[in-house]
Amino acid sequence: MSNSYYDPKDLRKFGKITEWSEELGAKFFDYYGKVFEEGALSAREKSLIALAVAHVVKCPYCIDAYTKDGLQRGITKEEMMEAVHAGAAIESGATLVHGVQMMNKYDKLSM
């Protein structure tokens, strides 16, 4: 067992989660595969969404995986960084919009 919480090599073993719960694991990977197929959105667009979400949920495995996936699809670094900013903007917006709650509470408590 590694001495750190994240080991890049663990990403290779992702499929092994099925071994401890075959039905749920298989359902997940079927679903996962289906989600990223060409659909109303292109697989390329979905790869960029996944990259943005990977940053928002701060998953190092997902960041590695979808940076590589983007390279494979010919996605440029400028497109990747814009996707990360889109995720970051929503994340910071989600924080800041709570400022309204703070303002509401402040006003309510103040004379």
Partner 1 sequence: MATKSLKARANELASQHKQLDILNGGLFADGELPYFKDKIAEIGHFPLRPKKLEILQINVGYMCNQVCEHCHVDAGPDRKEIMTQETMKQCLEVIRNTGAHTLDLTGGAPEMNPNFRWFVEEAAKAGINDFIVRSNLTIIRANKKYYDLPEFFKKHNVHVISSMPHYTRGKTDKQRGNGVFDKSIKALQELNAVGYGMPDSNLRLDLVYNPSGAYLPGDQMALERDFKKALKEDFGIQFHNLFAITNLPISRFLDYLIASENYEDYMYSLVEAYNPAAVTNVMCTNTLSVSWDGWLYDCDFNQMLDLKLANKVQHIKDYNEDIVNDRNIIISQHCYGCTAGAGSSCQGTVA
Q: What residues make contact with partner 1 under the rule CB under 8 A?
A: 12, 42-44, 68, 71-74, 76
Smallest separation, CB 62 to partner 1 (Å): 16
Q: Phi/psi class of residue 58: alpha, beta or left (left: φ > 0; alpha: ψ in -120 to 50)?
A: left
C-beta closer to partner 1: residue 27 or 68: 68
C-beta closer to partner 1: residue 45 or 91: 45
Smallest separation, CB 38 to partner 1 (Å): 8
Burial of 56 (0-12, 13-18, 19+ CB in 10 A): middle
C-beta closer to partner 1: residue 43 or 103: 43
* End-to-end Cα spacing for the chain: 58
